[in-house]
Structure 1
Amino acid sequence: MLMMPLEIFATVATGLGAGLALIIAIGAQNALVLRQGIRGEHVGLVVLVCMLSDIVLIAAGIFGIGAVITAAPAVVVVIRLAGAAFLIGYAVLAAKRAVHPGTLHASTQTGTMSRKAALITVLTLTWLNPHVYLDTVLLLGTLANQHGELRWWFGAGAALGSVVWFSALGFGAKLLRPVFAKPGAWRVLDGLIAAVMLFLGIKMALGV
């Protein structure tokens, strides 16, 4: 059956809106992208990993992997506990930076994150987050499959949302650098990151 361009456009737009709605909320991944963007450290790598991960997860959801996750709740539990432990650990490190800003100062090279550390951190925050499987895989996969033959256009829209958001967050964060030229601003940011990570970690550990 031939599909009208307007119908395709509407489906892509719907996918774009759904994708943005799920990823814009403040979370561990967004906090990392924002911090790396402000610091100007491995921004391209971090943004690329986030985008590619979302594209893979969205595709997996459309292929039906979400049904497998639903059928094997034990897998989600293991991922949830591992992710919670990592988030709480990251919260502790962020809190230490907030209390002792000299250990990781924005305007110096002391304590900067290596490319390998940035890669491991963004992969962990992305793939050990059970919500990414429930939201990106299961929810977006379900929404996409409701569009029948247009499901991949919906997926393309959702993927576009990830590309737009992470690019804007990572590369647009440099506009905030004048604000973070002062160590005090970094202490506030790291304090907020610590609070968000700790909150998400505890929430994830409790399964709520």
Structure 2
Amino acid sequence: MLKKLAFALVAVALSLSAAPARAALLIYNGISNAYILTLVEGIELAGAFTLAEETTVTQVEGFVFPIHSTGTFTIKLTESRGLTPGDTLFSGEAEATTRTPAFRGLSGLNWVLGPGTYWVTFSVKPGQTFSGGMPGPSNSLEHEAFKSNFTGQNWVNSDGRLGIGVRIYDNLPDPIAVPEPATWALVLSGFGAAGVALRRRRAAVASAR
């Protein structure tokens, strides 16, 4: 019984110092209704961002408007070739399930990126069904680019002209919670009670001998 009580008190003490992860907004450039960029099969839209340190990306979203049809589309994170995207590092299929303009994308990710510049891209691949656009952002990302059949599927830089709204999250540890004095008093009194009980038990055993 005493061992169980001791283990329980240790578990409580450890739980007080635990630091669970939380989602933190890493990149966000707002949204605007100034224009809407077409996002249909054959078109890919992209924006660049820079990280100062190693980061684990947990969620990537773009502000999309399924004007013609809801459905799936592709989100990628790529290396940078300066003013245009480079090779793909990570990718996934996202889905817009309603015709309402909203941030939609990928969550539950574990995409680890080192310090440097990267691109996030949005496209509709063959077999995917999204058809609509991406309203422009309030603020431009570091660089912007697009490619389509009209560009021969080659990336074209569009800084200051064609931007997209993006949200990217990473995981940060919560600050270690400092327990209230009453909480610590409860834990310490529990340890004290366990110690007193243990001494009494040892005394009873000794007298019995």
Q: In which range does the TM-score fall when normalised by the shorter chain?
A: under 0.3
TM-score, normalization by structure 1: 0.20
The structure whose residues are more often strand, as a share, is: 2
Higher relative contact order, structure no. (Cα contacts within 8 Å, ≥ 6 residues apart): 1
| Higher Cα Rg, which structure | 2
TM-score by length of 2: 0.20
